[in-house]
Structure 1
Amino acid sequence: MKELLLIRHAKSAWDDASLSDRDRPLNERGKRDAPFMGSLLRFRGVEPDYMVSSPARRARKTARLIASEVGYDKDAIVIADELYLGGRRAIVRLVQALDDKNGRVYMIGHNPDLSEAASCLSGESLGEMPTCGIVAIEFPVDRWSHVMEGAGRLKFFDYPKKHLTPSPATDVPGT
């Protein structure tokens, strides 16, 4: 059994127009959401055997923040250019080329590629993954090279806004 977690980078900052897309950092919400989602992954008991990230700054930072929460060595995160706007097919090829010693892999990247790959691999119509969204897909195979489009089973789809608690009402009756 193989398990793939596709993770969209956390919310990025757009306030410095001089930065290239590749160099955009996380904003404050992103810096808060990534560790939160990492703690949820730890709580679920789905720590990675291997982590691979897009080379974009916001994706690398998301990967490092999540790695800290799940007990993964931040220096062991592998950077793969295919995860930076390489397309759905590039992600599928990257998955199929993974080392079979790894049972659970995290891939941190970008939309629309991750959303398309998640839907394609799971056979589910998942729509667009929100920032710091995580799609976990299970494959009934022993070898990553045997992963095929539509053959995975959606294990969960989670994202930060799913966990927002509504604020208590500020209106007090009779005032």
Structure 2
Amino acid sequence: MTKTKWALDQVHSSVDFSIKHMMIANVKGTFNQFDAVIEADPADLTTANIQFTVDLSSIDTRNADRDNHLRSADFFDVENHPSMTFQSSNIVSKGDGEYDVTGELSIHGVTKTETFAVTFEGSGKDPWGNEKVGFTVEGSIKRSEYGLTWNSALETGGVLVGDKVKISLDVQAAKA
């Protein structure tokens, strides 16, 4: 197959994260608004061009007060930094549909090189004849490296919010 443009199917995709809270539990959340530009041969992603954009104001942790705090200048500062973006720069096949996708991740005005593990989950046609592909993405970043350093010390030691953010995406796309 040749390199093809794929349109993100937002209804069947998700951008999720989890982070330690009080050093004892994980808080999970999602972003409800995101988009991607994908040009790829799903059978060989090594030549793909992947651009991903997340609307940070769409954060949803199932708690309005926490979501508003995360949108504030203490964290994402969505008024000045409304989006998180990723642009692939190097993709290495690990065999069997597994890839390391490296690129530039920009959050809060800071851009760093990050690598995410991507798995090609397969392809097929939906009931209306549209060709679809699916991928899962896993990785983690340190929020402090992006200037997201707000925290609160705990009386018992440690901090309220962990530094490591686990990122998980389920992506379905349709042949454009």
Question: TM-score with structure 1 length normalisation?
Answer: 0.28
Q: Whose relative contact order is higher, 1 or 2, with alpha carbons under 8 Å and at least 6 apart?
A: 1
Greater per-residue strand proportion: 2
Question: TM-score with structure 2 length normalisation?
Answer: 0.28
